[in-house]
């Protein structure tokens, strides 16, 4: 099984260790992992802020980069959603001068969408893994559902089941499905409301050993706000936590 890893912009720069843990996890379940060096950004920041032309350019680049991949796996629900849900839409509604080229692009995005997965989604649905190890035995974990993973990809039980399978106690959290307030440029354009959204998440957080999510953007938002409020609860990417489930030890330290 050949897997091309798309680490995403945030993953490359802010969650490099978690991306490495994603490689370890994928190899652990028997995948041959490649990392196309030409990968850059999926284009979601441009798309979400209304810069359609720029989003299209980044989409085309990404489609080219992953043209030959059997599977594209991302340690991000949001970027996976961009590729699975929004690429075909973006390609479909942007007629080009050359109708043949437009049709080719539409087909390419549809094919790419069908081969693209968020990490836990890939592990649970394509590999069919239910149990990775017992390394999280007894750990109290809060799982934040990133909005795009939850609503666009329909990924919600997969990460929780994998965490539980590794022995974690995934704690009840009334706001676990409510948006953290990141929203890409939203967090910088309207920082006050965005921070209030994070506050609601943090205010309702149960007592846990670690907070995790499949999305780095959400983790930056929540941990950045928690730090500002002088909270010391650790935040770690799902990939790192799941790899800890396999090994029993944390390969990378929690980000605070």
Partner 1 sequence: MSGNSSTFRPASYREASARTLRDTPEVRDSVGSATRTFDALRTKAYAEVDSDRWRDWAQDVKAHALTHLDEYLEQAEQSLVANGAHVHWASSADDVHRLLEAIVVEHEVRTVVKAKSMLSEELEVNAHLDTLGVRSVETDLGEYIIQLLGEPPSHIVGPAIHRSLEDCRALFHEELGTPMDADPDELAAAARAALRGDFLAADLGISGGNFVAADTGTIALIENEGNIRLTTSVPRIHVALVGIEKIVPRFEDLAGFLQLTARAATGQPIGLFVSLIQGPRRADEVDGPEEVHVVFVDNGRTALYEDDTAWEALRCVRCGACLNICPVYRQTGGHAYGWTYSGPIGAIIAPGLLGLDRALPLPHASSLCGACVDVCPVRIPIPELLVHWRERTVEEGRNSVGERLAMRSYAELAERPSAFSTAGEALRWTPWRAVGKALPVLSGWMQEREAPTPSPKSFRDLWREGIE
- Residues with Cβ < 8 Å from 92, sequence gap 6 or more? 106, 109
Per-residue tokens: 170: 């995934």
Nearer to partner 1 among residue 46 and residue 168 (C-beta)? 46
C-beta neighbour count of 167 within 10 angstroms: 18
Q: Which residues bind partner 1 (CB under 8 A)?
A: 7, 9, 11-17, 19-20, 23-24, 35, 37-41, 43, 45-55, 57-58, 61, 147-148, 151-152, 178-179, 181-198, 200, 220-221, 223-225, 227-228, 255
Please name every residue paired with 130 in a beta bridge, in sequence order, or none if there are none: none
Contact (CB, 8 A) for 198 and 204:
no
Q: In whole angstroms, how close is the CB of 81 to partner 1 at the nearest point?
A: 9
Q: In whole angstroms, how close is the CB of 56 to partner 1 at the nearest point?
A: 9
Q: In whole angstroms, how close is the CB of 25 to partner 1 at the nearest point?
A: 11
Nearer to partner 1 among residue 128 and residue 188 (C-beta)? 188
Q: In whole angstroms, how close is the CB of 104 to partner 1 at the nearest point?
A: 19
Helix (H) or strand (E) holding 137: none
Nearer to partner 1 among residue 15 and residue 117 (C-beta)? 15
Nearer to partner 1 among residue 4 and residue 165 (C-beta)? 4
Nearer to partner 1 among residue 102 and residue 190 (C-beta)? 190
Q: In whole angstroms, how close is the CB of 184 to partner 1 at the nearest point?
A: 8
Give the dihedral of Cα atoms 82, 85, 87, 90; nearest 10 deg.
-110
Beta-sheet strands, E only, within 37-190: 71-74, 116-118, 140-144, 169-170
């Amino acid at each position: 099984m050949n897997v091309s890893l798309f680490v995403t912009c945030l993953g490359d720069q802010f969650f490099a260790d978690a991306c490495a843990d994603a490689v370890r996890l994928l190899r652990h379940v028997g995948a041959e992992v490649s990392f196309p060096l030409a990968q850059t950004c999926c284009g979601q920041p441009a798309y979400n802020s209304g810069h359609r032309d720029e989003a299209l350019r980044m989409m085309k680049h990404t489609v080219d980069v992953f043209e030959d991949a059997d599977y594209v796996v991302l340690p991000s629900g949001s970027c996976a959603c961009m590729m699975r849900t929004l690429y075909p839409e973006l390609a479909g509604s942007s007629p080009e001068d050359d109708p043949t080229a437009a049709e080719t692009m539409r087909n390419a995005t549809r094919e790419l969408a069908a081969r693209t997965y968020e990490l836990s989604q890939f592990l649970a649905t394509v590999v069919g893994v239910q149990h990775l190890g017992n390394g999280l035995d007894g750990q109290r974990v809060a799982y934040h559902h990133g909005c795009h993973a939850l609503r666009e990809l329909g990924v919600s039980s997969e990460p929780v089941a994998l965490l539980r399978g590794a022995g974690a106690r995934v704690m009840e959290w009334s706001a676990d499905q409510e948006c953290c307030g990141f929203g890409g440029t939203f967090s910088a354009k309207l920082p006050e409301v965005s921070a209030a959204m994070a506050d609601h998440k943090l205010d309702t957080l149960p007592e846990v050993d670690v907070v995790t999510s499949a999305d780095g953007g959400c983790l930056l938002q929540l941990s950045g706000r928690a730090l500002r409020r002088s909270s010391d609860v650790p935040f770690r990417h799902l990939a790192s936590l799941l790899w800890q489930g396999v090994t029993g030890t944390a390969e990378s330290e929690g980000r605070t």
